[in-house]
């Protein structure tokens, strides 16, 4: 199937599509492998921070290559770019979707930067995600202390003045590990879903949410769920476990393979639930 846009992938089934953060070749391969083993579409994403690290254009190139060779639909996605320059860089690398995150700006400024990126992206057939409201937690290595829930009135205005393929919402979700039990404002989500119409809604901060919360979110119209921290945790725990089994070997061949496999297993569990399993909990 290969490389597809966000617009295309979010229409492929009536659940939500899992979007997983990648950082290197092995996590990227694990994510695609998990999707292939289930024959389900997947979104392979990298944050603008990791993509902009020296030498990491190669990770972007690997992501695009993996998507092109995959037996399932794969959207290659730039996550949380606050500037149009990184969006253009990702588009040049061959990404099929970018997120321009103007959620820290005023509504007018957010609309303006979103339109600037959308104009360039759409001319090249690339999808765009935007965000309204702000999530607390660690985003691209930087701490956002103050969350701001998405204002439904802003949703109406924003969507009438932009042409985005997905809208990320802030309903109590947070990036990174939750401090205490996460509480999501489903009433707010329902109101937003009543306004957003055909525009798919996106849930960031998937690590640490419960299956019941995922299911309710999907029922109310969430079409893409982002998982970042859980990829890192799965990968690093597999790395440490495998190394500790034979400390003196420093096995640079088998350790990354174990990390890849562990990521693939985690991805399978999530993808299956987001696509199908959620129905049993609503």
Q: Which residue is nearest to ligand 13P (CB)?
A: 228
Q: Any contact of residue 224 with ligand 13P (CB under 6 A)?
A: no
> Any alpha helices (H) in 105-228, and if so which ranges?
107-123, 152-161, 186-196, 211-219
The size of the interface with ligand 13P (CB under 6 A), counted in residues, is 14
Range 60-64 contact pairs with CB under 8 angstroms and sequence separation of 24 or more? 60/90, 60/93, 60/94, 60/95, 61/93, 61/94, 62/25, 62/28, 63/22, 63/28, 63/95, 64/3, 64/93, 64/94, 64/95
Among 229, 255, 267, 271, binds ligand 13P (CB under 6 A): 229
* 251 assigned to active site: no
Rounded least distance, CB 202 to ligand 13P, Å? 9
Please, which of residues 31-60 interact with ligand 13P by CB under 6 A? none
d(CA 94, CA 178) in angstroms, rounded, equals: 34
String marking each residue 77-116 x if it binds ligand 13P according to CB under 6 A: --xx------------------------------------
Among 96, 118, 226, 242, binds ligand 13P (CB under 6 A): 226
DSSP bridge partners of 81: 100
Are 84 and 109 contacting, i.e. CB atoms less than 8 angstroms apart? Answer: no
Please, which of residues 182-211 interact with ligand 13P by CB under 6 A? 204-207
Q: Any contact of residue 234 with ligand 13P (CB under 6 A)?
A: no
Helix (H) or strand (E) holding 201: strand 201-203
Q: Which residues bind ligand 13P (CB under 6 A)?
A: 21, 79-80, 175-176, 204-207, 226-230
Query: Which positions are catalytic?
Result: 79
């Amino acid at each position: 199937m290969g490389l597809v846009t966000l617009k295309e992938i979010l229409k492929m089934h009536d659940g939500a599509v899992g979007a997983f953060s990648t950082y290197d070749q092995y996590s990227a391969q694990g994510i695609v492998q998990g999707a292939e083993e289930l024959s389900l579409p997947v979104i392979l994403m990298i944050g603008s921070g990791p993509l902009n690290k020296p030498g990491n254009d190669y990770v972007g190139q690997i992501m695009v290559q993996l998507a092109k060779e995959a037996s399932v639909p794969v959207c290659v996605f730039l996550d949380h770019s606050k500037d149009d320059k990184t969006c253009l860089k990702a588009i040049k690398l061959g990404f099929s979707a970018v997120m321009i995150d103007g959620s820290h700006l005023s509504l007018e400024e957010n609309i303006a930067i979103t339109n600037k990126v959308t104009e360039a992206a759409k001319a090249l057939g690339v999808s765009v995600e935007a965000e309204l409201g702000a999530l607390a937690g660690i985003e691209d290595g930087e701490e956002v202390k103050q969350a701001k829930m998405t204002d439904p009135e802003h949703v109406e205005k924003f969507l009438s003045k932009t042409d985005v393929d997905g809208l990320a919402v802030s309903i109590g979700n947070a990036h990174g590990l939750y401090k205490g039990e996460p509480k999501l404002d489903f009433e707010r989500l329902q109101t937003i879903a009543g306004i957003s119409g055909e525009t798919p809604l996106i849930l960031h901060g998937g690590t640490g949410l419960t299956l019941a919360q995922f299911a309710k979110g999907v029922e109310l119209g969430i079409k893409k769920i982002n998982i970042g921290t859980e990829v890192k945790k799965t990968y690093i725990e597999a790395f440490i476990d495998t190394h500790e089994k034979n400390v003196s070997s420093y096995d640079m061949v088998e350790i990354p393979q174990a990390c890849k496999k562990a990521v693939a297993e985690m991805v399978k569990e999530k993808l299956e639930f987001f696509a199908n399993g959620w129905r049993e909990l609503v």
